[in-house]
Amino acid sequence: MPLLILALASLGAAVFYVTEFVSAPARERRNLVTRAAQYGRMRVLHERELPRFSERALAPIVQRLARLMLRVNPRMSLESVAKKLAAAGMRRTTPTTFLAIRGFCGIAGLVLGLLVMSSAKAQTGMLSMLLFTVLGFFGPSYWLTLKARRRADLVASELPDALDLLAVSVEAGMGFDGAIAKLTEHMQGPLIDEFELALGEIRVGEGRPDALKRIAERVPAQEMSSFVRAIVQADQLGISLGRILRVQATDARNKRQAAAEEKAMKAPIKMLFPLVLFIFPAMFIVVLGPAFLNLSQLFQF
């Protein structure tokens, strides 16, 4: 009974923390809108408000869990987690928050495994506890890696069309920054989000090469790295950007076609296992089942 109460309490706490984490971006947007609405009005001094109970209670726990995760895995650092979050497009999530969520999932998996172990046999319960603990501990990290990989693939697939539009805009007489601004008005997706971020950095005084290099760091795609290198070299050597963009668009489109052909060639091999394991047995049962039934009835007589 105590283990059941502890498990329910841990799961309830995990659900509460995850809910707070999911709703944090919406609360941040509402706060930004509220602060922006106050610009230009007469400011009235108010008494200093105390932080909310959730902030006072959650912040120390999040910090402790993050430090615990860093101690468990010394090779992991806040910088590496921040790079993974940026690659996955989760810029609003801090590394400390993600490490805390990973710690919560690991503890919840451990408690759930203990609960299963208390109601099962010793060997089965021990295996269940290890399984749930490993899933809770490594599950968020695997999900983040998978999300970053899918985002990089999506960026690579969007790059040829974006480069075509950039080339048309530059050849029409627009500057590169203006072409990026025009691109963000007509397209959507993770690639456009990265271009918007780079454009904002350029507008606040950041150099164009540095802003583009940060895109290549955030997006681990070979096509993006090649595009950034070409633009930086063209900017340094004074080469026409329109021609460079056309060449990069053609190269990115050829790579996308080659990747699609490679996936198509791998598809039969990937289909072999489910075909042999699931489809062939069912087909043999349907085709040979009546014959076996007739033979069994024949030999019975």
Query: Which three-class secondary structure state does DSSP give residue 172?
Result: coil
Determine the pLDDT at residue 281. 82
Residues 189-212, mean pLDDT to the nearest whole number: 88
Q: Which position has the higher pLDDT, 50 or 174?
A: 174
Highest mean pLDDT among 107-116, 167-176, 269-278: 167-176
Nearest to 155 by CA among 188, 197, 201, 200: 188
Per-residue pLDDT at 263 exceeds 80: yes
Q: Are 222 and 254 in contact (CB under 8 A)?
A: no
Tell me where in the chain the CATH 1.20.81.30 domain(s) lie: 154-256
Residues 39-59, mean pLDDT to the nearest whole number: 55
Give the torsion through C-alpha atoms of 81, 83, 85, 91, to 10 deg.
120
Residue 224 pLDDT grade (very low, low, confident, very high; cuts 50, 70, 90): confident
Residues 4-26, mean pLDDT to the nearest whole number: 56
Residues 219-231, mean pLDDT to the nearest whole number: 86
Per-residue pLDDT at 182 exceeds 80: yes
Determine the pLDDT at residue 73. 80
Residues 73-102, mean pLDDT to the nearest whole number: 86
Per-residue pLDDT at 44 exceeds 50: no
What pLDDT, in 10s, does the model give residues 90-147? 888 888 888 888 888 888 888 887 887 777 666 676 777 788 888 888 888 899 999 9
Determine the pLDDT at residue 19. 57
Tokens of 155: 């960026």
Q: Are 259 and 188 in contact (CB under 8 A)?
A: no
Residues 200-210, mean pLDDT to the nearest whole number: 86
Rounded to the nearest integer, the mean pLDDT of the chain is: 79
Nearest to 153 by CA among 230, 66, 87: 87
Residue 45 pLDDT grade (very low, low, confident, very high; cuts 50, 70, 90): very low
Determine the pLDDT at residue 276. 80
Determine the pLDDT at residue 120. 66
Comparing 66-70, 77-81, 254-258, the range with the smallest average pLDDT is 66-70
- As assigned by CATH, the class of the 154-256 domain is mainly alpha
Determine the pLDDT at residue 143. 92
CA–CA distance, 258 with 254 (Å, rounded to integer):
6
Per-residue pLDDT at 21 exceeds 60: no
